[in-house]
Amino acid sequence: MTDPSPPGETRLGIGQRLFVGLQYLLPQHLLSGAMFRLTRLRLGPLTPVLIQGFVRLFGVDLDEAEDPRPGAYRTFNAFFTRALRPGARPLAPGASTVLSPVDGTISQLGRIGAGRIFQAKGRDFSCGELLGGDSALAASFDGGLFATLYLSPRDYHRIHLPLDAELTETIHVPGRLFSVNPTTAASVQRLFARNERVVCHFRTELGPMALVLVGAIFVGSIETAWAGRITPPRGREARRLPGQPAAGPAPRLPRGAEIGRFNMGSTVILLLPPDRFQWHESLAAGSPVRVGQALTVPAH
């Protein structure tokens, strides 16, 4: 079979192309809704058995959990969104050092140029589209930095704040629910701007910052600390969420604060303003990161 990938794009094997192609046919939201319900079932003594199997399969380090006992979790989702023990993720020093908001792996990182964000070889997407069509906000990040951070099943799935910040807006943008793993990122054009996502805009002393919580197939729901569970339900139109300045003072949040969680895994995209930061020289696509780790140094 001839590889149909256009020049400049990553070439996928037959199995990978079938995996991606199947996602176009699957009822993505129906399957994710089923996962939402299944992971919340109380299955009694079967729950810790399932958790132990998951831990062995994916190499989860339960010693880092606030409660490392599989039997302590009544549902699989309670285990999947487990808290870490105090001190497990110390924050890197320096109030102007941007912290990793998640445990995961860097899919891509770099600079936003001409309003475009790099996705994979031969593929990129619009910053404005990612942010729900807000061209003015997107312009404030042009020339700034982006990092796409992938959370695998073995990772801790709570999201933390990279800098002291004031929440200015949160928007839920409906969309598809393609997988966000590297194979799909290499194949599906505009993946992160097509998938359902929650866009969190912040104001910091160093300029605007955005965290985009991207949904994916089998991600049962996305939650934030101020709006609670956002998905499901799902709609067809972008919507502004509760807990915004129009309803009262904008929430002010300290660096390292927990701001949300994925109920099953996905991706967070961090956007930073121009002329303030540069990525730490040790970081590249494929680098593992942990909550509280320093991602940046000051721009020269």
4 pLDDT exceeds 50? no
Among left, alpha and beta (phi > 0; psi -120 to 50; other), residue 87 is left
Catalytic residue among 160, 187, 201, 221: 160
The question of whether 221 is a catalytic residue gets the answer no
Q: How many other β-carbons are positioned within 10 Å of the β-carbon of residue 227?
A: 19
Question: Could you give the CA distance from residue 50 to residue 283 in angstroms, rounded to a whole number?
Answer: 35
- Using a pLDDT cut of 90, give the percent of the chain over it: 63
- Using a pLDDT cut of 70, give the percent of the chain over it: 90
27 pLDDT exceeds 60? yes
The question of whether 100 is a catalytic residue gets the answer no
The question of whether 266 is a catalytic residue gets the answer yes
60 pLDDT exceeds 90? yes
pLDDT band at 69 (very low <50, low <70, confident <90, very high): very high
Among 36, 69, 108, residue whose Cα is nearest residue 262: 36
The secondary element (H helix, E strand) that includes residue 91 is none
Catalytic residue among 32, 179, 221, 266: 266
Q: Specify the higher pLDDT residue, 29 or 77.
A: 77
Q: 149 has which bridge partners?
A: 106, 268
pLDDT band at 6 (very low <50, low <70, confident <90, very high): very low
Burial environment of residue 188 by CB neighbours within 10 A (0 to 12, 13 to 18, 19 or more) = buried
243 pLDDT exceeds 50? yes
Question: Could you give the CA distance from residue 116 to residue 225 in angstroms, rounded to a whole number?
Answer: 29
Catalytic residue among 103, 124, 134, 155: 103
Q: What is the pLDDT of residue 238?
A: 75
194 pLDDT exceeds 70? yes
Average model confidence (pLDDT) across the chain: 88
Which region among 18-27, 66-75, 270-279 has the lowest average model confidence (pLDDT)? 18-27
The secondary element (H helix, E strand) that includes residue 278 is strand 277-279
pLDDT band at 219 (very low <50, low <70, confident <90, very high): confident
pLDDT band at 231 (very low <50, low <70, confident <90, very high): confident
